Structure 1
Amino acid sequence: MRTLTPLLVVAICTSWVVCKPTQEKKGRVHHNKDLSDHQHDDSQDFQYDHEAFLGKEEAKTFDQLTPEESKERLGNLVNKIDKDKDGFVTGEELKDWITHSQNRYIYENVNKHWADYDKNKDNRISWEEYKNTTYGYAAGEVEFYDVVEKEKYRKMKERDERRFKHADKDGDLIATRDEFTAFLHPEEFDYMQDMIVTETIEDIDKNGDGVVDVDEYISDMYTPETDEPEPEWVKTERQQFKDHRDLNKDGKMDRTEITHWIHPQDYDHADLEAKHLIYESDKDKDDKLTKREILDNWNMFVGSQATNYGEDLTRRHDEF
């Protein structure tokens, strides 16, 4: 068997885009993202609603359309949003669409690299396909001089397999596009939150006791230089741990407390926006929208280069 140095293995992985495992250090806390950078003030304009409903980039496309083109495209979108094809868009369907629009960049990224993993072209990705593509050089086919490096790759593969199985809802070890997206971007899927907590504990809990003490918490974000005095922001974080992270005041964070930390109970922006759009468009007040109700209020959902917000708002208020 050919023997490669760890340095050469790293070089191979660097040149092979899809060989990168899923583990990456990133922000621990997963806040619900706001849906737009614009102020949500319907008395000024509907730009917030446009970007919430369409996503930022798609909203720019609609801004360039005529009102007729914008309405036609909106009608086509309504057909997609109405998943059960009953002729109504419910709050849940609208919320799901808004969430999908906000995460479009994630789906586009998955689509971009899908063919790299889907070797048999069946529009699904098995664990074997992912493992062989990602760990082909590091999953037993290479002898490592560095035992530590070999152990690192073994643990990464085991962790990826566990996450893959968690994302794979039906347990067949073959991921649909949505399941594979959940595997690569677990922070965007509610049913993956428990896996994120598990991985966070493994990352931070250095002594393996299943909980995180204040020193482990600090060491995840700060490594002191020799004889360096502790910065003020680190002292502040220690106090944050004591006051807000360690809820039962036992000197460490358990699984429940870590869940509160990395998954704070934020506002569900997609749900709030869905309720707002329904409230503003639901003429018969049955808490769901027909295509006609949406198209009658099209300029709140989407835009066009000819939309005049001020005149339209005046007209809408005069109708009541």
Structure 2
Amino acid sequence: MSLLMMILIPVRKLLRVSSIMRLDVRLRLWVGLASAYLIFMGFVHLLHIPLRSNTLHSHYDLSAEAVIAKHREAVKREAEKYAKAALRDSNAGLETSQQISLLTETFKKADSNADGLLELSELSSWISSKIKEHLNLALKENIFMFTAIDQNPRNGQVSWDEFHRYFLKQHGYDDKYIEDHKKDHKGMPRELKETIMRDKAAWSEAARNDPEQLSIDEFLAFRHPESSHATILNIVEETIARLDIDGDNKLTEDEFSDPEVNEVPDYMTVEQYRNERLKEFRIADEDENGKLERRELLRYIDPRNVHHAEKEAVNLLSGGDTNQDGVLTLIEVLAQREMFMSSKMVDAAKSFHDEF
């Protein structure tokens, strides 16, 4: 045997032993790691340690509702900044300044305890008083206007021709134009033409006996339908005729809240609409017998019913309460100027006329 072979044989034996040893070490290492993992998971299970933080999910909620809510909050914050800036800016536009002044004055009057916060009860009470004030004023105004228009002839009836003459006179047109003007009112501003068209449509709705003449009650329905008992009674009759499926002249909960018969607003689901109507039904059902009769519907629809003011107050509070603390500050009101300016809190007459 050569010297080279005598050297290689022991070396090969040593390498084989070394390889076996390395494999044994690797196996021991993997077994140790697996044991450690099992022990760790056992502790996690016993101690109820969360493996994933819920903070990430809640902080980065990307659901459609969360995105919309965050967008609304961002818009409200920007609106509040704008309102604060407008309060400080002496050079704000005339319309903006007038709105801020009116809303500030109204807020202070509605804030009965003068604590700088409008609670739901204060807002509801104020709106209720504004509704009654408007309705009473409408009744008084109706008598004076009817008497002023009923001139030619003075017969206790107002004709469309008499009213139209009065309308043109009130808008600055002279007697010559009133006598000689063409029916299409050529040259008249578009806004006035549209007003005449709306008045003509409202006149047709109010004229129950003679399409060309109105009695004093019909004239009230024409000018202020929300103040007219006859208008409210007509609404009751139409409501019963439309919803009374079994023909007993009364409405059940199902009939009153049926989304297939009623028109569901775009911003509500069918279920939301049904629940809202059921709430209204229970308010209107005074004797709690599960049936709405004409007298109950009449009182429910009457604008003087306090529930109308309460509902308006709830809507305004939910729409303006940025920080969700259940009350309104002046800044929150100013941040939603358009909503409050068109509400019964500020302008009951315009709000009613938009509804009717």
Would the TM-score normalized by the shorter structure come out above 0.5? Answer: no
TM-score by length of 1: 0.28
TM-score by length of 2: 0.26
Higher helix share: 2
Q: Tell which has more relative contact order, 1 or 2 (C-alpha 8 A, sep 6+).
A: 1
| Larger-Rg structure | 2
